[in-house]
Amino acid sequence: MGAIIDFDDLGRLRTDLPGKKIVLGTGCFDLLHVGHLYFLQEAGRQGDVLIVGLNSDAAIKAIKGPDRPIFKQEERVELIAAFECVDMAFIFDDVVADSSISALKPDVFVIGEESVEAYPSELSSAHSAAARVQIVTRIPSVSTTSVLANLYKSRVE
């Protein structure tokens, strides 16, 4: 199981992990599904240490609306840290991961293809931090929003 760390610890990880290729991936990870697993596994293949940032509950409300998140940030970060491919996980309060990228300065920033257009500042932050950007292709029709829509639809029918 990976460690759960504080956002404030990101800055020192560069010196704590000398010679390691550090990978950063971020997301809401609200209702875990196979698309999340695929993203995390692909991210883990990009380097030696995978660090995953999760949007806080407040950030998810801003992104997804007042009915989200489904699971609280403490539960989500614990679930993500439990994945074998994840070395560390943390919660960040922003909608975009710019401050996380700037603090950690990863060697690789992994982003889902659906986020590239939605959050272009993350790409700029990654380039400013000299990180290689790895875009992970989305599994078609797999998203938390689609899972929730299907659940709601089946309850109504």
CATH number of the domain residue 7 falls in: 3.40.50.620
Q: Mind listing the pLDDT tens digit of every residue in the chain (157 residues)?
A: 799 999 999 999 989 999 999 999 999 998 888 889 999 999 999 999 999 999 999 999 999 999 999 999 999 999 999 999 999 999 999 999 999 999 999 999 999 998 898 899 999 999 999 999 999 998 766 666 666 666 656 655 5
Query: Number of structural domains, the chain?
Result: 1
Residue 19 amino acid letter? G
d(CA 110, CA 21): 13
Helix (H) or strand (E) holding 136: strand 132-136
pLDDT at 139 (0 to 100): 76
CB–CB of 101/24 below 8 Å?
Answer: yes
Range of the domain at 27: 3-156
Q: For CA atoms 147, 42, 126, 15, give the dihedral sign.
A: positive
pLDDT at 1 (0 to 100): 78
What number of residues does the chain have?
157
pLDDT at 32 (0 to 100): 87
d(CA 36, CA 146): 13
